[in-house]
Amino acid sequence: MWTAIHILGSLNLAVILLITIAGAIAFATVMESKFDTPVAAYYIYDAVWFDFWLLALGLNLFCAAFTRWPWQRKHVGFVATHAGIITLLIGAVIGKTFGFEAFVTLDKTKGPENRLFTKQNILTVETANGARWQMPINLQVHPPTQKRPLILPIEGSANRLVVDRVSESLAPDDTLVASADLAAPGGIALRFLNAGMSQDVPANFTMTDEGRTFDFFGMAKVNLVDQLPEDQPIALPPAAAPAPAAPRNDTPFRETQVVFAGSPPILDTDSDVPSGYSFKILAAKSMQDLKIEAADPDGHVRTWPLHELETKWASMNGADDPIHFRVAKFWPDFAMKNGAPVSLSDKPDHPAVLVQVTGPSRLLPPAPAQPAAAPPPMPKGLVMRVALAKEPGKIVYELEREGKIEARGVAAEGDTIRLGWSKWVAKVQAVVPHAELHREVKEFAGKVTPMMAGSLRTGIHAHLVASDGASGPAEWIPGGTARELFSGRDFLVRVGFGQKVIPLAFNISLEDFKVPRDEGTDTPSDFISKVRFDDPATGQVVHDTAHMNSPAMFPGDTWRSLLGWNYKFSQANWDPQNLNQTTLQVLYDPGWPFKWIGSIGICCGIALMFYFMPKRSARERREDDSNAT
Amino acid sequence: MIPMRPKNILLSLILTLGLLTPALRADTAIDTNTLATLAVQDHGRKKPFTTFAQEELLTMAGTSKLPRSSVSGSNAAPLSAEQVMLDLWLKPEGWDQRPLIMVTFRALKQKLGLPLETDRKLFTYDELIRNPAFNALLDQTQKVRQAGDADKLTSLQKEAEHLGERLRLFQDCVNGAKETIVPHPSEPNGTWLPIQNLGTVGSSTWPPVEQKERYYVSSDSRAQAAGNAFTVWAEAYRNGDIAKFNQATPELVQALSSLSPTVYPTAGSLQFEHTYMQVHPFRKAWIVYFLAILVLLFTAIWQRTAGYRLTWLLVLAGLGLEAYGFFCRIIISGRPPVTDLYETVIWVSFVAMVIAVILESVYRKRHFFYAGIPASILTLIIADSQPTILDASINPLTAVLRNNMWLTIHVLTIVSSYAAFVLTAALGHFALVLSLWGKRYAAAQDDVQYFIYRAMQIGVLLLATGTILGGVWANYSWGRFWGWDPKETWALITLLCYLALLHGRLAGWWRGYGLAIGSVVCFLSVLMSWYGVNFILGQNGRSLHSYGLSTGGLSYATGFAAFEVVFVIFVLMWNRKRLATITS
């Protein structure tokens, strides 16, 4: 027994363990920088062998402490240090087992939250007989492939679930289909096409709240309405013949361009004569450095800082130039979300701008002498309204510009509607009397354009295999959804894929969110979230503030704080475009007391060992040294 | 990026006009003490114009004084940062034809077809902005960024971007956008504006940038006064009448300050910073330490006691200078002084010296001075001589470092442990050099080996405490005790290395000599966690700890590491050979 303890607690073993652990984690940091964090975590930090190695170190420390038994006064520092490390390791194990780390996104304008999301991906499987279970899956290090699929047995049956692909670019492929439900309202599928730019924007409309409107990149609104006067058609005024020879000053125009960094612009002009101006976003690392390069039809090129064009009208050739332009809207990280343009972050990763160009017009007063003094008015926007016609398979449409109805007419499925929005036309893809939106997804293979980036999701591709090897149809299951899978042999399961959710017994709501900045810059100096906790069971209400490096706590008294029986909310993420919203990281860690007690033990122990040992003379020192050899 | 192909028409117009370029009158110097009371808002704080000038010239040209030879070929005194920046702002004619913008990256020079000689590092705005290869390179960089592959940028492309930023800085200095001297009317943290936004300054040709935002109406008598004061001041400078310019400075400052007296910094606080910048305490400190080590060496045999006392006096004087330097930096920035690489380097030199002084006062054997003073001198010289790698400018704290006293203690403790290890490694070098003479210095070697242990104890205690405090703090504020973040992992590796060294000694694997070897070898792990994590591993920005570090200096660090390895191998081989000859 004592021999074993002496071997396990030997200094030789200690040095070997110290050196090997140092080597392994040094290798892990190199791996992390060469590959990825999850790879390093999988092979080293979170690997079972590494846990065993740490366990071995713990055992070594434990035995080492016992080899000095019976302890004397001079051993206090030594025992405190080693016991401290063991306590710390125990705290880590308790924290990992019984605690959790999760996230919650709060919005000032929305109601309270009582669910937390973790970063752990899980599969939820539900069989027809009501059995339901969850399992974590790791998709980052070895994502399942067709060659190496993830095969999971389904309890209580001989069927197996096969996950054979993971995709991070699942794009919604919504189609309007006829509903079996005859009470379902009708729907219209349109496609906006711009032949010159080879752009194709689908838009589906149903009578549901979110299915009624479509925001055409902030330039136009398309609405589905209940009905439109079918019998009063208005013809769209014919497009003016292109007049390139006409002096520019005499050609009235008001033009809007949505300019992307990566893809061709979306153009609209009120006269069908493009201004001939083109704009380019010159990318940069920070928002302040973004520039807009403008080129006029004569080939002159000039560049402005973006922020300058946001605050004033500019012109190519000084005050005498009658053509002015400005940036009316700016999305640093452009994406289409729920049919509306948004910015995903404040990083100029996919910058897009809406540029307005205007020149003298018969409708407008002559060009102002001081461009900054009186900016000329711009079109108030374009509206398209559509409704189902009385005759099946047809729709009624109406086009409006600045509050004036320009065109109205009836179009049948397959027809193309001229819009007068530059080169854009709308094609009536489908008219369905009783419609439902079939929300399919497909893996997007081509280059991800900024317009799509916001709508892409991660998901898995799965199918069922019956005991006799018969394979059911495969489905993509995007994150946060569930799909029913058939084995082809009368067996059905419902498979959900998403992040693990942790329900809370109390509610959290965001009362205020503030981001103060360093003076004269956009650099945040702090993030301040005022939150309110309420526990419906006890009626307890607590107000607290989470700011950078200082978390909010619930329930939050001193004892609970010390023991870790507390939920801690600290700043994790924010959306620079939406300051109503903040994401907090939530920690619950019952291992906390072990961690801080262990930490104090280590620090005090080392100090005791080094500085509060009985004094030895130089001679004793030398003798000690020679004894050791 | 900067406007490349479309040349900024107004800018070039001004630069090539060359109407008023009277030679600088050397007889009257610019009164920098008064000029320092002119406040500029820059990089997140308000600073004296003199500091602003030095920092921006450093960014643009990599130096805080512009050699006159690079301007006119004469051997006159170098142009001060204030002169250059005032010229660019108020009298920019011809500056686009003078070498002012730094390009040192060899591959970039090659790509741009610039002369490759290492002593030619300054180039003119004009030759760079017109360089087609540079424009092509920037276009390329832009495409990479647009494709969302910013982390795939090559070092050549990154250097091209940095050059682009320097050119942009040049433009902003010339068109006045950089010199934000108009205070915000009410908010202490509000954005300041360039003088042209005052609305009461300027003609049709100057200033070149249109105002975009205004705080004060033109009819405001204070704005008019400030505008007039600026016109007088700028005209005096343009006409080369420096005496009049010096007289006009206080009037301009007074006029600007009265626009917003509560927001405008006091003359006292601005001059305090100016004095700090003038004194160069950290440069003076290494000079004093240098004297100290000379005295110590020359009195090794002769006049030992007197020499030792004088050394003590000089060391304390040097420490006093460093303490003054830290006091100033803390007062100016209002935060602890360990947030960027420069500050950690000077902090290491300071703490290494403090530890050496404490241990020397206990043991009084001169050895801590022999090792500690050169180590401190070396770190201070590194900090002083590499202004582009170790940026000495005082910047605001990043948000992740705010609000928490424990965090401050964590950072200070860790960096102090590096200082203890610097001292340990210096003692290790000392012991190894002594070992080359065999038994001749056996007693001294014994002492030094014991001192290595003493210094290493301090380092281990500080590093263990700092690392664990970091964990406790992170657990409290970020929600996890340990996250295997590269920086914290390397702090742990460093700690494990030294622990293995200490335990190996206890286990009898090695003794004093092995400890000396180990103190040098283990220091390489300190170098890795101090510098390497951010520059070798941290390129992908995966570390939470990667704030406040600039690029560069990798070749120096790897060179140092290689030298250390060679040194240790040499010592081992030399001593083995000697042992072999003795036994045979």
CA distances from B567 to A366, B560, B577 (A): 81, 10, 15
- ipTM score for this prediction: 0.83
CB A357 within 8 A of CB A371: no
Tens-digit pLDDT profile for residues A257-283? 888 776 667 776 655 556 778 888 877
Q: Please give the distance of CA A446 from its chain centroid, rounded to a whole number.
A: 21
Higher pLDDT, A158 or B297: B297
Is the previous residue joined to B207 through a cis bond, with omega within 30 degrees of 0?
yes
Q: Is the pLDDT of residue B5 over 60?
A: no
d(CA A138, CA A120): 8
pLDDT at A473: 85
A positions 88-127 inside 8 Å of B (CB): 88, 91-92, 95, 101
All residues of chain B having their beta carbon less than 8 Å from the beta carbon of residue A279 are: none
Beta bridge partners of A124: A134, A496
Average pLDDT (A184-204) is 76
Higher pLDDT, B361 or B5: B361
Closest C-alpha among A493, A508, A628, A478 to residue A568:
A508
3-state secondary structure of A395: strand
Mean pLDDT, all residues of chain A = 79
Tell me whether residue B323 is exposed, middle or buried, using C-beta atoms within 10 angstroms of its C-beta: 0 to 12, 13 to 18, 19 or more: middle
Q: Which residue of A has its CA nearest to B537?
A: A33
| Cβ–Cβ contact B396 with A under 8 A | yes
Lowest mean pLDDT segment, chosen from A209-218, A493-502, B120-129, B326-335 = A209-218
Give the Å distances, CA to CA, from A583 to A572, A579, B512, B517.
6, 11, 54, 50
- Write out chain B residues lying below 8 Å of A602, CB-based: 464, 468
pTM metric for this prediction: 0.76
Q: What is the dihedral of CA A354, A359, A365, A368, to 10 degrees?
A: 90
Q: Judged by CB atoms within 8 Å, which residues 5-44 of A form the interface with B?
A: 10-12, 14-15, 18-19, 21-22, 25-26, 28-30, 32-33, 37, 40-41
Tell which residue, A119, A576, A170, has the closest CA to residue A344. A576
Q: What is the pLDDT of residue A87?
A: 93
Nearest to A625 by CA among B505, B192, B388, B126: B505
Cβ distance of A41 and B147 shorter than 8 Å: no
Predicted pLDDT of residue B182: 93
Report how far residue B290's alpha carbon sits from residue B284's, in angstroms, rounded to the nearest whole number. Answer: 10
Chain B residues 431-450 with CB within 8 Å of chain A: 446, 450
Give backbone dihedrals phi and psi of A439, rounded to 5 degrees, phi first.
Answer: -90, 90
Cβ contact (<8 Å) for B146 and A261? yes
Looking at residue A369, its pLDDT comes to 32
Cβ atoms of A490 and A508 closer than 8 Å? no
- Provide the shortest C-alpha distance from residue A542 to chain B (in Å): 19
A440 pLDDT exceeds 80? no
Q: Does position B224 have pLDDT exceeding 80, yes or no?
A: yes
Residue pair B35/B47 in contact by the 8 Å Cβ criterion? no
Instruction: Band the pLDDT of B274: cuts 50, 70, 90.
Output: very high
| Cβ-contact B446, B377 below 8 angstroms | no
Residue B537 has pLDDT above 90, yes or no: no
pLDDT digits (tens, 9 = 90+) for A206-221: 877 667 888 776 667 8
What are B177-190's pLDDT values in tens digits?
899 999 999 888 88
Q: Report the C-alpha gap between B57 and B100 in whole angstroms.
A: 9
The tens digit of pLDDT for each residue in A525-553 reads: 889 999 999 999 888 899 999 988 888 98
Q: Do B486 and A29 touch (CB under 8 A)?
A: yes
pLDDT above 90: percentage of residues in chain B? 50
Give me the pLDDT at residue B266, please. 94
Instruction: State pLDDT tens for residues A120-140.
Output: 888 888 887 778 888 888 877
Alpha-helix residue ranges (DSSP H) falling in A218-261: none
Contact by Cβ (8 Å): B535, B554: yes
Range A299-306 average pLDDT: 82
**Beta carbons of A18 and B188 less than 8 Å apart:** no
Radius of gyration of chain A (CA): 33
Q: Is A433 exposed, middle or buried (0-12, 13-18, 19+ CB in 10 A)?
A: middle
Burial of A291: CB neighbours in 10 Å, binned 0-12, 13-18, 19+ = buried
**Residue A615 — very low, low, confident or very high, per pLDDT cuts 50/70/90?**
low
- Letter string b/e over residues B30-51, b meaning 16 or more CB atoms within 10 A of that residue's CB: bbbbbbbbbbbbbbbbbbbbbb
Reduce the DSSP state of residue B442 to 3 states and report it: helix
Tell which B residues from 271 to 300 touch A, by Cβ distance under 8 Å. none
User: Residue A335: in which H helix or E strand, if any?
Assistant: strand A334-337
3-state SS, residue A469: coil
Task: Show the tokens assigned to A62.
Answer: 């434990």
Residue to test with chain B: of A96, A311, A526, A549, most B Cβ within 10 A: A549
B365: CB partners within 8 A, 6+ apart: B447, B451
**Summary mean pLDDT of chain B:** 85
Span B502-523, pLDDT tens digits: 999 988 899 889 999 999 999 9
**Contact check, Cβ <8 Å, A568/B188:** no
A68 touches chain B (CB under 8 A): no
Cβ density class A223-244: b for 16+ within 10 Å, e for less: ebeeebebeeeeeeeeeeeeee
A587–B479: do the CB atoms touch at under 8 Å?
Answer: yes
pLDDT confidence of residue B383: 92
What are the residues whose beta carbons fall under 8 Å from the beta carbon of A446, sequence distance 6 or more?
Answer: none
Q: Which two tokens stand for residue A54?
A: 């740490």
Q: Do A523 and B44 touch (CB under 8 A)?
A: yes
Q: Is the pLDDT at A287 greater than 80, yes or no?
A: no
Q: Is the distance from CB of B185 to CB of B216 less than 8 angstroms?
A: yes
Query: How many angstroms away from the CA of B177 is the closest CA of chain A?
Result: 12
When pLDDT is cut at 50, 70 and 90, the band that residue A449 belongs to is: low
Task: Indicate the DSSP class of residue A409.
Answer: E
Which position has the token pair 């509000």? Answer: B190
- Per-residue pLDDT of B396-432, as tens digits, reads 877 777 766 777 888 899 999 999 999 999 999 999 9
Residue in chain A nearest B192 by alpha carbon? A520
Nearest-CA distance from B161 to chain A in Å?
Answer: 9
- Span A194-204, average pLDDT: 68
Per-residue pLDDT reduced to its tens digit, B469-495: 888 888 777 767 888 888 889 999 999
The rounded Cα B171 to chain-centroid distance in angstroms is 24
Query: Chain A: nearest CA to B321, how far in angstroms?
Result: 30
SS3 at position B436: coil
Rounded Cα gap, residues A46 and A32, in angstroms:
13
- Average the pLDDT over A74-95 and give the result: 90
Assigned token pair, A411 = 């179009």
CA R_g for chain B:
27
Q: Which residue has the higher pLDDT, B16 or A563?
A: A563
When comparing pLDDT for A378 and A142, which is higher? Answer: A142
Lowest mean pLDDT among A34-38, B332-336, B384-388: A34-38
The residue of chain A nearest to residue B6, with distances taken between CA atoms, is A302
Q: Which residue has the higher pLDDT, A198 or B17?
A: A198
- Distance (Å, whole) CA B34 – CA B50: 10
Q: Hey, is the C-beta of B361 within 8 angstroms of any chain A C-beta?
A: no
The pLDDT confidence band at residue A498, using thresholds 50, 70 and 90, is: confident
Q: What are the two backbone dihedrals, phi and then psi, of residue A293, each rounded to the nearest 5 degrees?
A: -105, 125
Residues in chain B: 584
Average pLDDT score over residue span A141-159: 83
- Is A168 an 8 Å CB contact of chain B? no
Q: pLDDT digit string (tens) for A339-381?
A: 567 676 666 777 888 888 877 643 333 333 333 323 333 344 6
What is the pLDDT at residue B427? 96
Q: Are B177 and B196 in contact (CB under 8 A)?
A: no
Write the burial class of residue B204 (CB in 10 Å: 0-12 exposed, 13-18 middle, 19+ buried).
exposed
Least confident of A302-316, B96-110, B335-349: A302-316
Q: Quote the tokens at residue B277.
A: 């910048």
Put simply, the answer to whether B146 touches A262 (Cβ < 8 Å) is yes
Q: Does B451 touch chain A (CB under 8 A)?
A: no
Q: Which residues are A184's β-sheet partners?
A: none
In which band, very low, low, confident or very high, does the pLDDT at A168 lie, cut at 50, 70 and 90?
confident
**Contact assessment for residue A141 and residue A410, using Cβ atoms and an 8 Å cutoff:** no
The phi and psi torsions of B552 (rounded to 5 degrees) equal 110, 165
> Which residue reads 């250059």 in tokens?
B84
Tell me what pLDDT residue A446 has.
63
Q: Which of B81, B82, B85, B91 is nearest to B35 (CA)?
A: B82
Strands A540-547 and B122-124 come out as: unpaired
CA distance A101 to chain B (A): 7
Q: Cβ of B462 under 8 Å from any chain A Cβ?
A: no
Amino acid letter, B460: V
A568 strand-pairing partners: A553, A587
What pLDDT score was predicted for residue B458?
95
Q: For residue A109, with 0-12 CB atoms within 10 Å meaning exposed, 13-18 middle and 19 or more buried, which class applies?
A: exposed
* Dihedral class, residue A361 (left if φ above 0, else alpha if ψ from -120 to 50, else beta): beta
When CB atoms are compared, the residue of B146, B497, B508 closest to A629 is: B508
Q: Across the interface, do B486 and A521 touch by the CB < 8 Å criterion?
A: no
Size of interface A-B (CB pairs under 8 A): 209
In DSSP notation, A447-467 reads ---HHHHTT-EEEEEEEEE-T
